[in-house]
Structure 1
């Protein structure tokens, strides 16, 4: 027989209190019985009955287990990649303080909405790389998100194809192929160029769920650069605008949804709730052997003895 819980100071205290109280009770009634010239045998019977059912209750609390059952445990989950656009346009100030800083703040604040999923970061501009592998560690993920900035790439540009190709490689991995696959594209949608139709086809074939977070405004804003703003060859400030129409069509082509982040509209929490609501795929089934907790036998026997205790009366004193 095994025990789920060990004897603790609580059980020892209850046993000690019972013995002290019952010893005082027994001595008192024994002295009264001697004065009246009667027997106190029923007190001894009650003592043993009460000691036994107290012991049975304590044993029930300790969780006695014997015998085993074999059960199947199924695991489900999703693999979620945030794909961050870190091109220079994400430094635009049409969202305060900048597009990239605002989206970092909102994501770290709401990241707890992704409860049991593995989450990773892919960043892209002129090229793409995995910034953070898939992980369950939300604190580490928040730290990596907070460190994101457009200076991670020395060459400017926006090549979404490189990011999609990297996503395809990660989701074709045998370890992740049975999991639900979710991509959250965080971008302003500017200067993507023509996307590779073969990559799009393979992503759809692998049942990748694409959700898009458009960051910026249609009116646009200047791009922070040092102490001033980015200028073109003619000395004019460069204005970058959110390409919402392009992003909506992109998400629609995957059967996904489009969300937006501006100074007036904040759909980050809605985006993460949508991820949480997506169906999780079966990952693995494992057989586990667990011990049977038989506490109810001890508790049932203790209840029977309590009923017997009520029926046995002490007749040393008659009222």
Structure 2
């Protein structure tokens, strides 16, 4: 049995000063009858009422103790389970090149990828998850963390105009993106390490080739799941002209062979998403494949157990009052 409000149990210390008052001062305040000499009553037997009078004190103490226990909210446990959560370390590597603005996924590739990734993160509260973004270059947007609220906020702030603003080069450096994600996992001590790489193009930038990065991942025991996003054929793309935006159809060129080779080299899987619905299904499939392992965490279902103590306190109080006004009634 446990107590939800343990601090109330300190009230039981009030019993000590009450007992001191009862033994030392209470008799001085009770009515007495003066007698010239009590020698004749020295050996007189005590009546049963006199012998039972301390029962009133015991009943009062019992009522106070039981009321304090009720206030402390005793609780019992009727079911126990032991389980441990050993999370998986996951790095998301997301393509943020300008081609991710294509609208073959709704509302566009980058927003669809962000939405589905955020749902994936929210569904894995025990995992360390980080985020790498890449275009012509790659950098870590968020290192691995279990603070998923902060991670999702950083994910939502990802934009495809970082190349246009001159922060990084435009293009698609798949090898650099994968290498950056792998570098974040190399010192991980988790039994399962995973990279989920999402891109809509072919490797055309960077100093590290995709297969070199895949070999590094394999040597470190990192599994890579690759996702190619984009419809087959051409995709509607917003192209800025002057102060306005015109839509053109761009060919979708995804290097499925390289993405497949990366996945097979690292014992992962390659997926192809031509619409937002398929992207949802892919992340759900990865979620099923990469389940967290269980270890030792205590879980129990609690029930309030104050009712017997409350009933006993009520009975003791009524009994004390009844004895006081009947058997132990005083007439001063």
Aligned length: 255
Q: Relative to structure 1, is the Cα distance of residues 214 and 222 closer, same or farther in structure 2, using a 3 angstrom cutoff?
A: same
1:116 correspondence with 2:117: no
- Give the unaligned 5+ runs of structure 2: 16-47, 75-82, 297-304, 328-332
After the TM superposition, which residues 255-274 of structure 1 pair with which residues of structure 2 at under 5 Å, given as runs? Answer: 255-263=267-275, 265-268=277-280, 271=283, 274=286
Q: Which residue does the alignment assign to 1:158?
A: 172
Q: CA deviation at 1:195?
A: 3.6
- Give the unaligned 5+ runs of structure 1: 16-37, 65-72, 231-236, 286-295
- The answer as to whether partners of 1:210 and 1:256 remain within 8 angstroms in 2 is yes
- The answer as to whether partners of 2:143 and 2:184 remain within 8 angstroms in 1 is no
- For normalisation by structure 2, the TM-score amounts to 0.59
2:228 alignment partner, one of 211, 214, 222: 214
Q: Relative to structure 1, is the Cα distance of residues 106 and 41 closer, same or farther in structure 2, using a 3 angstrom cutoff?
A: farther
2:96 alignment partner, one of 83, 86, 96: 86
Paired with 1:108 and 1:151, the residues of 2 have a C-alpha distance of 20
Q: CA deviation at 1:130?
A: 0.7
- The answer as to whether partners of 1:182 and 1:275 remain within 8 angstroms in 2 is no
Paired with 2:108 and 2:279, the residues of 1 have a C-alpha distance of 17
Q: CA deviation at 1:118?
A: 1.9
Q: Which residue does the alignment assign to 2:263?
A: 251
Q: Relative to structure 1, is the Cα distance of residues 123 and 98 closer, same or farther in structure 2, using a 3 angstrom cutoff?
A: same
Structure number with the bigger relative contact order (C-alpha 8 A, sep ≥ 6) is 1
Paired with 1:58 and 1:269, the residues of 2 have a C-alpha distance of 56
- The answer as to whether partners of 1:217 and 1:242 remain within 8 angstroms in 2 is no
Q: CA deviation at 1:274?
A: 3.2
Paired with 2:129 and 2:118, the residues of 1 have a C-alpha distance of 13
The two structures, once aligned, show a CA RMSD in angstroms of 4.6
- For normalisation by structure 1, the TM-score amounts to 0.62
2:213 alignment partner, one of 187, 195, 199: 199
Q: Which residue does the alignment assign to 1:24?
A: none
Q: Relative to structure 1, is the Cα distance of residues 246 and 265 closer, same or farther in structure 2, using a 3 angstrom cutoff?
A: farther
Q: CA deviation at 1:158?
A: 1.2
Q: CA deviation at 1:164?
A: 2.3
